[in-house]
Structure 1
């Protein structure tokens, strides 16, 4: 039986009289490629904010590797292996990809603020940075300031930072949002090549990416789970088709 690495039990989030998340149950298996989809206003971002500790739940609990993390702050969840990317880049504009990754890798390895003088001196840090730069196709731009990078490369750098945190669970929040068509293919190929031992929860509106990437899909509507299943089951579900067609979208494989 597959190991469950991340589990939400009856998650509820209320803002006054509005229920943004309505008794959501979600299980992420070890090595999963799991997508969370739903129309605008379905509660996807609220659910991710609950899972990552940005918001406290009104009811319910969250477990990571069998441990209750419902009330842990975000940084402690990251330390335990639950890492996310964001819809909008949150990068250091004046730093290069190499400097950024060296800082993250060094801090992860306990070097803290001493990363800068050790850049190039710690063989293990250098090796990990080179590995991440290659995996995320950033080697050619590793010495350029982040502010000067094409938008697609900045999205790749954000994913590289997340992986540098050595996640057990990686939440990808709309990784191709705003990426120009000419830069999308590189990003899609990189997402597909993420390490198999990292369990991924993808939040995305791009149905081509969802059906290409996911082995399981959860559909959220009005804060509640409408249905869950394999891509084939979801693509042919009449309820899902009705929800998406009602919002001008087409579910396709």
Structure 2
């Protein structure tokens, strides 16, 4: 199988605190792969290492067979690696239409005059509309983002990530903070992501994890504890012990 994203012996420390320990992870092309673990396991640190926000102390990161360990964030995006965040990173005064339009224009190399691109190119506007429709945002596309329900803001962040046309997408807790009444749209949006996009999901919500993932890796204290198919992970006594010990549900 083709490997889309891989880490080899990844280490990250902050002073004397080792956050990532000899982490080797393989995500196959087209996979729906979940990375789970109790609070403090180092999951978001791993995402920040993969995307270039943090630099590892040692180890290597490969994207589709190319070493990207030393590449800055923007060059990883250009190579097809996108992410969402635990806390939304959106422009509060832009509308969803403008936000997705900016993302599309940036991908096409016209981020500096994105409003002109939206006004002059039908193909760009068609892509924006298609993206908004996929994530159920057409009904609020002209409202300021800051006024949207939180579930809609989470959907918009996923829409922005997809507008970059990634080959590998990292979803950092897409359901975090979303009210129960709005969670269905998040679940549906994640489930409907294009199959040609490899997805690595970090999530505490086990319903979302087990309804989405075809492979699960369990991280504990920055190191890999268990990896396998969802039913194997759910039955694993080490996983049960870790989650029971942390008071989480699995």
**Could you give the per-residue CA deviations for residues 8-61 of structure 1, whole angstroms, max 9, x where no partner exists?**
000000112211000000111111100000001111111111111011111100
Q: In 1, distance between residues paired with 2:97 and 2:47?
A: 29
Q: Which residue of 2 aligns with 1:13?
A: 12
Tell me by how many angstroms 1:250 deviates: 2.6
Deviations 1:189-238 (Å, cap 9, x if unpaired)?
11100000000000000001000000000000011000100000000000
1:97 aligns with 2:92: no
Deviation at 1:112, TM superposition (A): 2.8
Structure 2 counterparts to residues 133-148 of structure 1, below 5 A? 133-148=132-147
Query: Alpha-carbon deviation of 1:109?
Result: 1.1
1:118: Cα distance to partner? 2.8
CA drift at 1:146: 0.4
Unaligned runs of 5+ in 2: none
Tell me the residue number matched to 1:202.
201
Q: Map 1:1-253 to 2 at 5 A.
A: 2-251=1-250
Task: Describe the SS at the equivalent of 1:27.
Answer: strand
Cα drift, residue 248 of structure 1 = 1.3
Cα distance in 1 for partners of 2:123, 2:114 equals 12
Q: SS state of the match for residue 205, structure 1? A: coil
Q: Map Cα deviations across residues 136-168 of structure 1 (whole Å, 9 max, x no partner).
A: 100110011101100000000000000001111
CA distance in structure 2 between the aligned counterparts of 1:102 and 1:249, rounded to whole angstroms: 39
What stretches of structure 1 move > 4 A for 4+ residues in a row?
none
> Gaps spanning 5+ residues in structure 1: where?
none
Secondary structure at 1:41's aligned position in 2? coil
1:53-104: per-residue Cα shift (whole Å, max 9, x none)? 0111111000001110001111111111111100001111111000111111
Quick one: distance in 1 between partners of 2:111 and 2:96? 18
Task: Normalising by structure 1, report the TM-score.
Answer: 0.97
Distance in 1 (alpha carbons) for counterparts of 2:117 and 2:211: 41
1-side partners of 2:40 and 2:25: how far apart?
18
Task: Report the RMSD for the aligned CA atoms in angstroms.
Answer: 0.8
Give the whole-Å Cα distance in 2 for the aligned partners of 1:22 and 1:100: 37
* SS, match of residue 170 in structure 1: strand
TM-score (norm 2): 0.98
Q: Secondary structure at the match of 1:92?
A: coil
Deviation, 1:124, is: 1.3
Q: Report how far residue 249 of structure 1 moved.
A: 2.0
What is the count of residue pairs matched by the alignment?
Answer: 250
> Residue 120 of structure 1: SS of its match in structure 2?
helix
Distance in 2 (CA, whole Å) between partners of 1:217 and 1:139 is 33
Indicate the larger mover: 177-186 or 113-122. Answer: 113-122
Distance, in Å, in 1 between the alignment partners of 2:168 and 2:2 is: 13
Farther-moved stretch of structure 1 (102-111 vs 3-12): 102-111
